[in-house]
Amino acid sequence: MPLILSSCIMMQDLYIGDAEGIDLKDMDVKHIDIVLYVPIENPGMLNLKLRKLEVDLFLNDIEIGRLVNNKKVKIRRRSSELYSFPLEVELKGLFTTTIAVMSLANSDKAKYRLVGDIDIGFLVLRKNFDLDEEGWVDLY
C-alpha cells in the first residue's frame, strides 16, 4: 500500500511503503496489541510526529475493528527508515470477528481495507490526511 502524503511547503511529501512485518504483543476478546513495521521516507527538513491514527479495519468486507496508535512516533527528517508503530486493534465484537476469521479459513489471501485519518505534525503545525486504502494480503 504505497502512499504519498502531501501537505504544505514546510512538511514535504512523505512516502509510506507497504508494511514489512507485524508482531503480535497481546490479545484478548476486546483488543489486539500489535507492532507494525512500515518503511517511510521523509525528504523534508522537519522531524515529524505521527500524533493520531484512527483507522477502521475491514477483512473481506467485514469490519473487524479500529486501529489506534498507542504512542506518538517520531519520523526523522531527511531519512528513509523502517519505523515501528505500536497499535491497538479495538475489536468490533466477538461475533463479527469470528465471522471475519471464518471467512479466511479456506483462503490463502485476504482482502483488506483501511478507512480513517492520520494526523502528522511538527510542533504546532498539523496536517490531517484521509486514508482509504485497500488491497490483498497473503495469509500463508
Please give the biggest Cα pair distance in the chain.
49
Q: What contacts 76, CB < 8 A, 6 or more positions away?
A: 42, 47
- Band of residue 140 on the pLDDT scale cut at 50, 70, 90: low
Q: Is residue 59 part of a domain?
A: yes
Q: Is residue 128 part of a domain?
A: no
**For position 81, what pLDDT does the model report?**
93
C-alpha cell at 73: 512516533
Task: Check which CATH number belongs to the domain holding 20 and give it.
Answer: 2.60.40
Domain that holds residue 47: 3-121
**For position 76, what pLDDT does the model report?**
92
Q: Is residue 54 part of a domain?
A: yes
Q: Is residue 15 part of a domain?
A: yes
**For position 10, what pLDDT does the model report?**
53
Higher pLDDT, 98 or 51: 51
Q: What is the number of domains present in the chain?
A: 1
Q: Is residue 29 part of a domain?
A: yes
Residue type, 60: N
Over residues 80-87, the mean pLDDT reads 90
**For position 82, what pLDDT does the model report?**
92
Are 40 and 81 spatial neighbours (Cβ–Cβ below 8 Å)? yes
- Band of residue 2 on the pLDDT scale cut at 50, 70, 90: very low
Q: Is residue 44 part of a domain?
A: yes
pLDDT digits (tens, 9 = 90+) for 20-63: 777 778 877 788 888 888 888 988 888 888 888 888 888 888 88
Q: Is residue 85 part of a domain?
A: yes
C-alpha cell at 119: 494526523
Strand runs (DSSP E) across 17-95, as ranges?
A: 21-27, 31-42, 48-59, 62-69, 73-75, 79-91
Q: Is the dihedral of CA 83, 71, 129, 125 positive or negative?
A: negative
Q: Against a cut of 0.75, is the pTM above it?
A: no
**For position 139, what pLDDT does the model report?**
66
